[in-house]
């Protein structure tokens, strides 16, 4: 469970990840509009945002270990903060590649979050393909 100060940190990191060419005010408005839209559609929006981030988080990865002549994939835990950063960066990458239509970015962010809650979405697919497959 993510506590309140961690939720604020999550929103802060989302703002930092979305900053484009130093337009902090525009990015703050973008995240504010996203949270307003998310709150309007979902009653418990902070809980749903927490669920989205947890679905995107990866808590372990596989490292290659060579023992004698054999090569094994050994699971290694990932630090909580690093997995949180990775989840938010996947979410931002998915909304940047979401569509070529002229939909505003906060609506793309809302649609991607809605798709993740339905077990779909590009960010969730990227998580599965990138982190849970064979690594060299």
- Judge whether 136 lies within some domain: no
What pLDDT shows up at residue 61?
77
Instruction: Give long-range contacts, CB 8 A cutoff, 24+ apart: 111-116.
Output: 113/38, 113/48, 113/49, 113/52, 114/41, 116/52, 116/55, 116/56, 116/91
What pLDDT shows up at residue 128?
64
87-116 pLDDT per residue, tens: 777 777 777 765 566 777 777 777 777 777
- Judge whether 127 lies within some domain: yes
What pLDDT shows up at residue 114?
78
Q: Round the average pLDDT of the chain to a whole number and report it.
A: 73
Containing domain of residue 40, as a range? Answer: 4-131
- Given a cut of 60, whether residue 21 has pLDDT beyond it is no
What pLDDT shows up at residue 38?
76
29-84 pLDDT per residue, tens: 777 777 778 778 777 777 777 777 777 787 877 788 888 888 888 888 888 878 87
- Judge whether 124 lies within some domain: yes
The answer to whether 31 touches 95, Cβ cutoff 8 Å, is no
What pLDDT shows up at residue 127?
66
CATH number, residue 28: 1.10.455.10
Q: Which helix (H) or strand (E) holds 50?
A: helix 45-56
User: What is the pTM (predicted TM-score) of this model?
Assistant: 0.65
Number of domains in the chain: 1
- Judge whether 90 lies within some domain: yes
- Judge whether 52 lies within some domain: yes
Bridge partners, 64 (sequence order): 73
The answer to whether 31 touches 11, Cβ cutoff 8 Å, is yes
Nearest in space to 77 (alpha carbons), one of 93, 60, 62: 60
Q: How far apart are CA 49 and CA 40, in angstroms?
A: 13
Position with higher pLDDT, 27 vs 70: 70
């Amino acid at each position: 469970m993510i506590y309140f100060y961690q939720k604020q940190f999550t929103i802060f990191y989302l703002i930092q990840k979305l900053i484009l060419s130093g337009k902090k005010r525009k990015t703050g408005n973008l995240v504010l509009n996203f949270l307003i839209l998310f709150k309007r559609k979902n009653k418990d929006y902070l809980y749903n945002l927490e669920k989205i981030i947890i679905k995107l988080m990866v808590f372990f990865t596989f490292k290659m270990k060579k023992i004698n002549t054999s090569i094994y994939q050994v699971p290694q835990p990932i630090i909580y903060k690093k997995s949180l950063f990775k989840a938010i960066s996947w979410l931002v990458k998915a909304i940047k590649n979401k569509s070529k239509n002229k939909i505003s970015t906060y609506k793309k962010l809302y649609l991607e979050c809605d798709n993740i809650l339905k077990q779909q979405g590009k960010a969730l697919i990227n998580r599965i393909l990138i982190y849970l497959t064979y690594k060299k």
